[in-house]
Structure formats: structure tokens, C-alpha cells
């Protein structure tokens, strides 16, 4: 006969694991909920301006006739008061298996620092004199960008909405 | 993904470490905190019988308050319990359409847990059986069992306190809620494997 004043034992832990499986199955956490939370936190913590998603165009689609060009490329433009950013992405050359993603971008500010925040953490690049930047070897999945201008710290950082690459 | 329950590093400890590192300036560790605590917070919010959208708003408010008040939080180690308290209060405030904050001393009691018909239809036979047994528990026990199920053994006592249960209601001893669950499942010949 067990009592409520005894120590929690393995059986209780197994029972609770069943309870967890039940609720995780019947009422799961929405899959992108953590990304939305992290985004909201970043915006507040950085006093950032949220860029608007302007354009989402499928530039090249994979088709039976495009065997020589097997890289589907998508492109998106974000705009904010101080800056606009265009990014396009496709399979990275580093893996050859399409497991990693290369992002080619262009920002209206030369010398801007562009930070890509992914499930793997964050990676930075600085735009060249033409505003171009490259971020290679990124994981597929949710990503957002944080753009700061080291030459003009009076401007608020700009954060883009999260997109899937 | 799910932390292994051991005496030393429960979910609350891991969350506390991530938050302490964030406070020391390691900005990225806040993402880890969000990943760690989201399942517990989601279930703590959903246990209040409010809509998914309201739960999401309540969680967002809790995280934003955490960031805004980060410097004034004295015990980083207690961050999991702090978040559960705020999420529960926010879920209630939002669901009542109330503008006023719910007082610290005022801890609303969760309703009996509900699963919508669509969710019930996807349960396995065994989960359906478990759901029947959970439904037999008191609403307070249903809420407690649901929330602690997403944490680890060392966290039970602090989570119970955050939900407004009396100190000593669970952990390290089994407490009445886990005892009830154990007894009712143990008496069901259909549950025993």
C-alpha cells in the first residue's frame, strides 16, 4: 500500500511521462511558438524597429527541364524607415547535398552589420561598399535578420520578421 | 530535447543557469531559456481553460516582462516559477478581458481540464484510458499533474507553489495528487501492462 507521504518513485515518474505524452499529443505546443517568442523578445530587448516584409517572389523553380540549374532560389525584401534588405537563398555549395543554405543579400547601407539568427545560433556579415553580403552554411528552418549600422549608432537596429529558408 | 530527470539538474536549474548567463551578458542564452520553458508555460496557460491565442499572448507578456525587469530579478534560479506565476495570472486577466492586473495574493483556481473533441479523437486507446482517469482527479490536481509532467522531479515543489498549491503538497513526497493518480491507475486492470 503506497502513501502520499512516501517519496516520489519510478512509478510516479512513469505515470507523469504518460500524462506528458497525452497532453503533448492532444494539445501540442504550436511548432513556431518559440520562434515568435524569441522574436518578440529581441524586438523589445534591442529597442529595434521591425522591418516590413515587402516581397516574396519565387525567382527560380525546380522543374524537369532545369537539371543543369538544380538550385531553387527564393527571394524576399524587407523594408524599414532607415534601411531595406533583400535576401535570396539557395542550397549551399559547402555540402552539395542541399542540407545547408547560402544567403546572398543586399542592404541599402554599405558597411552595415547583418546578423542572421537561426536555430543554430547567430552569424554575422558586414555589407561591402555596394551593400552586398553573403552568409553561407546556414541551416534550413526559421531565420531572421538583425541589421545595425556601426557608422551611425543613432539609428535603431532593424529586425526582420522570421522567414523559412 | 527533454532534460533527463536527475536530482541536480532539473528543468528549473537549467532554466536558471541560462537566465543567469543572459544576465551576465550572454544574450543568446535567452533563446535556450525560451526553448527549455515553453512546454511547461504552454501547459500552465492551457490548463487555465483559455484559447491558444490567449495562451500565446500570456506567454509573450511573461517573457517581455522578464526581459524588461531582468535586472530587478533577485533570484535567477527561480525564473521558471516566476514565469509560471506570470503566465497563469496573465491567462486569467486576458480571458476576463480585464485591464487590471490580478493581485499577487489572488491565485485563481484552474477549471477541470478539457480536450476538444478533435483532440480526443486522435488519442490512442491507452491515452483515452489515461484521460478518463485524469478527469476523475480534482481540478487542482489535474492542473498540477499536467504542468509538472513537463518538468523534472526536482521542479515539482516549486511549480506547485507557483500554481498556488500549499507548500509541501508535492515533492519530495508524492503528495495527494500523484497518490490519487497512482491509485486510480493501479486499480485499473486495463491500464496495467
pLDDT of A7 strictly over 90: yes
- Domain housing B118: 11-186
Q: Is the Cβ–Cβ distance between A122 and A138 less than 8 Å?
A: no
Residues of A in contact with B4 (CB under 8 A): none
Q: What is the pLDDT of residue A71?
A: 45
Q: Grid coordinates 491565485 are at which residue? A: B107
Q: What is the pLDDT of residue A48?
A: 87
- Whether residue B45 lies inside any domain: the answer is yes
H helices of B149-187, in order, are 156-162, 175-186
Q: Is the Cβ–Cβ distance between A113 and A149 less than 8 Å?
A: yes
Distance CA B88, CA B91 (A): 5
Asked if B68 and A3 come within 8 Å (Cβ–Cβ), the reply is: no
B24 burial via Cβ count (<10 Å: 0-12, 13-18, 19+): exposed
- Whether residue B91 lies inside any domain: the answer is yes
The b-or-e profile of B79-102 (16+ CB within 10 A means b, else e) is bbbbbbbbbbbbbbbbbeeeeeeb
Q: What is the pLDDT of residue A42?
A: 87
- Whether residue B6 lies inside any domain: the answer is no
Q: How far is A161 from chain B (nearest CA, A)?
A: 16
Asked if A27 and B38 come within 8 Å (Cβ–Cβ), the reply is: no
When divided into structural domains, chain B yields a total of 1
Residues of B in contact with A15 (CB under 8 A): 178, 181-182, 185
The tens place of each residue's pLDDT in chain B, 193 residues long, gives: 444 444 467 999 999 999 999 999 998 899 999 999 999 999 999 999 999 999 999 999 999 999 988 888 888 899 999 999 999 999 998 887 755 566 656 667 889 999 989 999 999 999 999 999 999 999 999 999 999 999 999 999 999 999 999 888 898 899 999 999 999 999 999 998 6
Asked if B63 and A41 come within 8 Å (Cβ–Cβ), the reply is: yes
Asked if B134 and A22 come within 8 Å (Cβ–Cβ), the reply is: yes
Q: Which of B39, B60, B145 sits opposite A40 (nearest CB)?
A: B60
Q: What is the pLDDT of residue B101?
A: 61
More confident residue, A66 or A44: A44
- Whether residue B192 lies inside any domain: the answer is no
Q: What is the predicted ipTM?
A: 0.91
Asked if B64 and A40 come within 8 Å (Cβ–Cβ), the reply is: yes
- Whether residue B131 lies inside any domain: the answer is yes
Q: What are the pLDDT digits (tens) for A125-150?
A: 999 999 999 999 999 988 999 999 99
Closest listed residue to residue A108, CA positions, set A155, A48, A161: A155
Q: Which chain A residues in 107-126 lie under 8 Å from chain B, judged by CB atoms?
A: 121-122
- Whether residue B191 lies inside any domain: the answer is no
Q: What are the pLDDT digits (tens) for A101-111?
A: 999 999 999 99
Best probe of the A interface among B127, B160, B166, by most A CBs < 10 A, is: B127
Q: What is the pLDDT of residue B104?
A: 58
CA distances (Å), origin A14, targets A29, A103, B126, B167, B181: 21, 45, 14, 24, 11
Q: What is the pLDDT of residue A67?
A: 43
Q: Is the Cβ–Cβ distance between A11 and B180 less than 8 Å?
A: no
Residue A121: band (very low, low, confident or very high) from pLDDT cuts 50, 70, 90: confident
Q: Grid coordinates 553573403 are at which residue? A: A134
Asked if B127 and A26 come within 8 Å (Cβ–Cβ), the reply is: yes
- Whether residue B46 lies inside any domain: the answer is yes
Residue A96: band (very low, low, confident or very high) from pLDDT cuts 50, 70, 90: low
Q: What is the pLDDT of residue B80?
A: 96
Q: What is the pLDDT of residue A69?
A: 44
Q: What is the pLDDT of residue B166?
A: 87
DSSP at B173: B
Amino acid at each position: 500500500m503506497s502513501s502520499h507521504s512516501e517519496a516520489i518513485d519510478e512509478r510516479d515518474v512513469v505515470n507523469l511521462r504518460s500524462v506528458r505524452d497525452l497532453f503533448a499529443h492532444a494539445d501540442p505546443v504550436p511548432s513556431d511558438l518559440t520562434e515568435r517568442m524569441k522574436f518578440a523578445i529581441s524586438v523589445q530587448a534591442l529597442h529595434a524597429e521591425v522591418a516590413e516584409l515587402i516581397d516574396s517572389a519565387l525567382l527560380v523553380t525546380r522543374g524537369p527541364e532545369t537539371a543543369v540549374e538544380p538550385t531553387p532560389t527564393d527571394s524576399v525584401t524587407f523594408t524599414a524607415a532607415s534601411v531595406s534588405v533583400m535576401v535570396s537563398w539557395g542550397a549551399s555549395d559547402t555540402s552539395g547535398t542541399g542540407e545547408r543554405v547560402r544567403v546572398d543579400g543586399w542592404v541599402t547601407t554599405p558597411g552595415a552589420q547583418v546578423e542572421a539568427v537561426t536555430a543554430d545560433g547567430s552569424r554575422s556579415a558586414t555589407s561591402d561598399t555596394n551593400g552586398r553580403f553573403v552568409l553561407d552554411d546556414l541551416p534550413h528552418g526559421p531565420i531572421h535578420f538583425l541589421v545595425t549600422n556601426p557608422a551611425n549608432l543613432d539609428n535603431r537596429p532593424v529586425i526582420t520578421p522570421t522567414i523559412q529558408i | 530535447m527533454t532534460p533527463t530527470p536527475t536530482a541536480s539538474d532539473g528543468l528549473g536549474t537549467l532554466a536558471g543557469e541560462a537566465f543567469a548567463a543572459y544576465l551576465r551578458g550572454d544574450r543568446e542564452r535567452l533563446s535556450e531559456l525560451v526553448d527549455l520553458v515553453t512546454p511547461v508555460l504552454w501547459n500552465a496557460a492551457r490548463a487555465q481553460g483559455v484559447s491558444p491565442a490567449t495562451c500565446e499572448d500570456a506567454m509573450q507578456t511573461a517573457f517581455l516582462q522578464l526581459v524588461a525587469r531582468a535586472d530587478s530579478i533577485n533570484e535567477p534560479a527561480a525564473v521558471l516559477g516566476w514565469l509560471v506565476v506570470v503566465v497563469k495570472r496573465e491567462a486569467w486577466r486576458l480571458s476576463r478581458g480585464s485591464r487590471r492586473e490580478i493581485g499577487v495574493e489572488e491565485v485563481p483556481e484552474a477549471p477541470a481540464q478539457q480536450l476538444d473533441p478533435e483532440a480526443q479523437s486522435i488519442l490512442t486507446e491507452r491515452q483515452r484510458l489515461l484521460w478518463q482517469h485524469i478527469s476523475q482527479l480534482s481540478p487542482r490536481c489535474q492542473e498540477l499533474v499536467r504542468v509538472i509532467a513537463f518538468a523534472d522531479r526536482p521542479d515539482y515543489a516549486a511549480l506547485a507553489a507557483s500554481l498556488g498549491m500549499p507548500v509541501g503538497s508535492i515533492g519530495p513526497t508524492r503528495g495527494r495528487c500523484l497518490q490519487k493518480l497512482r491509485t486510480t491507475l493501479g486499480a485499473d486492470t486495463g491500464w496495467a501492462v
